[in-house]
Amino acid sequence: MIKLTIHDLNIGGTLLVPDILGEAKITGGGVYVFKPGETAHPEPLHVHEVDEVFIFLQGTGILPIDGKEYPVQAGDVFIVAAGEDHHTRSSVKDPLVAAWYVMDRSSLK
């Protein structure tokens, strides 16, 4: 897991944070508007075989990664590594809006 802020994003040419993600390409994603108190992926284990980037656009909440809880708010950026268990939980009073992107490194081989 890597935590940044929007101000730390280093957009290089046509790639998202190439200094961290190298030549990895975005292969999917979207924007999600949470309901108050909602948890994304409430199942016990949620992992990917690829890295996932979260850019929090509005609100506050918690991003548990491998059992450790990280507070999140608008402007935070998290890169969750492949294989890390993660779930996003929105606050009740100030629901989250998050952009998320899955990064595929397999096309680099």
Output Rg (C-alpha) for the chain, integer angstroms: 14
Q: What are phi and psi of 21, to 5 degrees?
A: -95, 0
- Confidence class for position 11, pLDDT limits 50, 70, 90: low
Angstrom distance (rounded) from CA 42 to CA 31: 18
Angstrom distance (rounded) from CA 91 to CA 87: 13
Angstrom distance (rounded) from CA 15 to CA 39: 30
**CA neighbor of 104 nearest in space, from 31, 46, 34, 29:** 29
Q: Which domains does the chain have, with CATH numbers?
A: 2-108 (2.60.120.10)
- Report the phi/psi class of residue 75: left, alpha or beta, with left for phi > 0 and alpha for psi in -120 to 50: left
What are the pLDDT digits (tens) for 58-73?
999 999 999 999 999 9
pLDDT at 105: 65
- Confidence class for position 109, pLDDT limits 50, 70, 90: very low
What are the pLDDT digits (tens) for 37-92?
999 988 889 998 999 999 999 999 999 999 999 999 999 999 999 999 999 999 99
